[in-house]
């Protein structure tokens, strides 16, 4: 699957959204990525929507809304399943496994920080 091509504004929004997610600002991440996502077309659209759903899931989890967190994680995992194990500079296979583990912890009532972090930098600059 071909990776997305983001213009400079979309790339800046994406990088800001990743930084917000990693800082635990899940609501803000959702808003930022949704602003970027609204202009994305093609097969990468669902990838970014899946990331938005991950952010919303952790926002719900922080607010102790376990049913909301489980629902959003399930939806995110379903969207992200369509993408290869490594996509857009991201180890998506590892992230999907991490999200599955979070789902199990939420279901068992043992979910607690630290929350996951996103690392898109390990493969060099984001594709343009």
Domain assignments of the chain as residue spans, ordered by start: 8-112
Confidence (pLDDT) at 20: 97
CB 21 within 8 A of CB 29: yes
Confidence (pLDDT) at 122: 47
Mean of per-residue pLDDT scores for the chain:
91
Q: Decide: helix, strand or coil at residue 49.
A: helix
CATH superfamily of 8-112: TTHA0068-like (1.10.3450.10)
Can you give the pTM of this predicted structure? Answer: 0.92
| pLDDT tens profile 42-64 | 889 999 999 999 999 999 999 99
| pLDDT tens profile 61-109 | 999 999 999 999 999 999 999 999 999 989 999 999 999 999 999 999 9
What's the CA gap between 71 and 80, in Å, rounded? 14
CA 14, distance to chain mean position in Å, is: 11
What's the CA gap between 85 and 109, in Å, rounded? 29
Pick the more confident residue, 68 or 2.
68
Structure tokens at 66: 């376990």
CB 29 within 8 A of CB 20: yes
As to burial, measured by CB atoms within 10 angstroms (0-12 exposed, 13-18 middle, 19+ buried), residue 37 is: buried
């Amino acid at each position: 699957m071909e990776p997305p091509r983001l213009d400079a504004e979309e790339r800046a929004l994406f990088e800001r959204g990743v930084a917000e997610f990693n800082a635990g600002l899940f609501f803000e991440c959702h808003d930022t990525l949704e602003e970027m996502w609204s202009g994305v077309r093609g097969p990468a659209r669902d990838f970014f929507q899946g990331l938005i759903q991950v952010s919303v899931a952790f926002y719900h989890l922080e607010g102790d809304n376990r049913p909301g967190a489980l629902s959003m994680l399930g939806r995110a995992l379903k969207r992200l399943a369509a993408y290869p194990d490594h996509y857009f500079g991201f180890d998506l296979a590892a992230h999907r496994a991490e999200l599955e583990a979070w789902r199990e912890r939420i279901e068992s009532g043992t979910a607690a920080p630290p929350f996951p972090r996103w690392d898109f930098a390990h493969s060099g600059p984001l594709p343009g």
